[in-house]
Chain A
Amino acid sequence: MEKKTYTISVYSENNVGLLNRISAIFLKRHINLESFSTSESEIPNVFRFVIVINITPDKVHKIVQQIEKQIDVIKAYYHTDEETIFQENALYKVKSSFLFEERQIQNIIKASHATIVTVSPEFFVIEKTGFREETEQLRKDLSPFGLLQFVRSGRISVTKAKMGISEILNTFKNNN
């Protein structure tokens, strides 16, 4: 079976050690993660992990089953790129002198729809939100001028389909 990029969304309690428990599932199977991010979700006190992996369809299903089996995980889903809206965020730190000496930089920023977050006498910071190819292209374009620092966030994504976590939590409340 052919490998594909999948976004795994995990809704969980916010408990110490759960991150370790989830990463152990990948470690045990010798699977490398493309990206990993975590934040609060739309529901109070419920956290959301967004994990991106490149894997075959049968394996992603098994992994999600293992994740969902963890006591503190409320529900886990997996989706293809077509089924999600996703973005990454990147920051680029460049010497300020280039901004004035190399006119080209201004064109690059303009063309990439990136924004300048801050400017100081020594450096300025550019921010770009978009797909991997877009943040990557900007990195390539800026590297000839000497990037002082570059960092890219993990993927964040929302799904086109409904997740139904509140319904699950309400069912528990009503049954107990």
Chain B
Amino acid sequence: MKNHKNQKNQKSPNDSITISGAEAVIRCLLAEEANLVYGYPGGAIMPIYDELYKYKDQLHHVLTRHEQGATHAAQGFARTSGKVGVALATSGPGATNLVTGIADAQIDSTPMICITGQVASHLLGSDAFQETDIIGISTPVTKWNYQITKASEIPEIMAKAFYIARSGRPGPVLIDITKDAQFEMFDFNYVKCTGIRSYWPNPPLNTNHLEEALQLINEAKKPFIVWGQGVILGQAEQEFKAFVEKSGIPAAWTILGLSALPTDHPLNRGMVGMHGNYAPNLLTNECDLLIAIGMRFDDRVTGDLNTYAKQAKVLHLELDPAEVNKNVKADVALITNCKISLKALTKRISKNTFPKWLKRFDALDVIENEKVIKGDLFPIKPGITMGESIAMINKYTKGDAVIVTDVGQHQMVACRYAKFNQSKSNVTSGGLGTMGFALPAAIGAKMGAPIREVVAVIGDGGYQMTIQELGTIFQQQVAVKIVILNNDFLGMVRQWQQLFFDKRYASTEMTNPDFVTIAKGYHIEAERVEKREDLDQAVGRMIASEKPFFLEICVEKENNVFPMIPTGASVSDIRLE
């Protein structure tokens, strides 16, 4: 407990009261304004569930159908609300079932707190029933974790957990609480954490580096911005837009940066990366200054690093020092929240435009439109495409919906074609690529942004990994719209098998159940569309519905997603067919 003296807590005027550890957990959650939690009960966390029962008027618990669903729902909630998502689970299998969601939240920087029950402290290490070393298991995939064995530790640790999860580069924190600590009575007094001496989440802007950055921007003839989720996490959307508009620099997004700048903004030039747009990928290797904002040069973005933007100077705006010079060497790095660095840069740059440089983008857009987009959105073949399905959703949501996607072909197509007018509208599993993410994440996304339309776009494979969460949607009456783009294949793997494994379709064909009947079994309104002429009205009915709605769209079975940069290839080797 030595460490807790080294954290700074706000002074509290409240006198302490004597309560159980379990009740303390609830009070800590309420003190942090976490009044919505997702979880699944079990033996070692029963004292906390007993308190949830008593506090049900103040704290809403959503019973998911699997602990993994609780984590993804907490993630979806965090992504649309900007708050910390909370998931509860019992010890042993309950705790291990959280791991996928925790790993997903870690790699996608999602603020989340997982609270797990643990066997009583005298049983630790005895291989007791449902005992597992969740601290050991979760260590590599958490921003921080801690095992509580005494009730008196709860307030300080919970305060620290919230502070760590949401500050700096956000991430998941796991708190494991032994059952005896949940029962133990103690004097409770909660004070929020405001600082930890070994943790510096907000490095200040280095003014010397700012001057160097300004020089790079002023000298650039063909500058290019790639932005990521750091813009959204840093709440820097306004500053980012102001910077883009004043500098006149064309900008492209990583999959997690999507929606930070409206899709129809003239300087928004599309997505970079493996299935990104033609122009921004190719011109990465033509620009003279690459300004990376709140992104980490993931391999799916860069392709082969040895041939990535070698001609360009690199200016990296990034909060996490460990991401600077990790994959791509930065000529200048501004290590601080991009909200701060962008504001400082915008103030100092002069208004500029790059008409000639933008024409390069336009010219390449024409090629992509001709070779890829036309066929995706206005197909001549009878089979429905994923692209036209997304376009139809756009028609009815007009870009105002939150789009939640799973992982695979549908994800790439949805991100390429979905329209977004406002930030925090794209919820997807980017870094970890977790199939099964979308359905539970959509539950959280809707609860995090209740007034917004939330459309989950999912493939038939990923859908069946967490299909049981239809039960949660039914029980809670979460008005999410679920669209399955069903090609009866694990489409992305099949595409790779076609392109790189001589069409040996090993275990990618799926014999699927009647999805409409399944949804109806959960009393969710459901429809299936097999013909193009029925698509428009079906999507219309789905968006018009005020209840949960399931729509299966049977799409062309063996369509591929292009453009594509094969693994390990250069962004210059982007393929259009």
Contact = CB atoms under 8 A, between A and B. Distances in A.
Given A62-B326, A72-B198, A13 B6 contact: yes
Contacts of B198: 12-13, 71-74
B321 A65 contact: yes
B262 interface: no
Contacts, number: 60
Contacts of B325: 61-62
A21 B146 CA distance: 12
A146 interface: no
B320 A69 contact: yes
Interface in A16-49: 16-17, 20-21, 24, 27-28, 45
B568 interface: no
A15 interface: yes
Contacts of A62: 322, 325-326
Give the contact-size bracket for chain B: 20 to 34
B197 A169 contact: yes
Name which of A68, A73, A176 has the most chain B CB atoms within 10 A of its CB: A176
Contact of B322 (A45, A66, A72, A175): A66
Contacts of B136: 17, 20
A129 interface: no
A69 B109 CA distance: 14
A21 B145 CA distance: 10
Interface string B312-331: 00000000111001100000
Nearest to A58: B325
Contacts of A100: none
B121 interface: no
B431 interface: no
A14 B146 CA distance: 13
A20 B197 contact: no
A78 to B, nearest CB: 14
B139 A14 contact: no
Contacts of B140: 21, 24, 27-28
Contacts of A12: 198
A73 B140 CA distance: 15
A172 B6 CA distance: 9
A47 B146 CA distance: 18
Interface in A131-176: 169, 172-173, 175-176
A24 B195 contact: no
A172 B202 CA distance: 13
B2 A69 contact: no
Interface of A: 12-17, 20-21, 24, 27-28, 45, 61-62, 65-66, 68-69, 71-74, 169, 172-173, 175-176
17 contacts: A14-B2, A17-B136, A17-B139, A17-B146, A17-B147, A21-B139, A24-B140, A27-B140, A62-B325, A62-B326, A71-B198, A71-B199, A72-B144, A73-B198, A74-B198, A176-B194, A176-B195
Closest 8 CB pairs of A and B: A65-B322, A172-B197, A176-B8, A74-B198, A13-B3, A24-B140, A71-B144, A176-B195
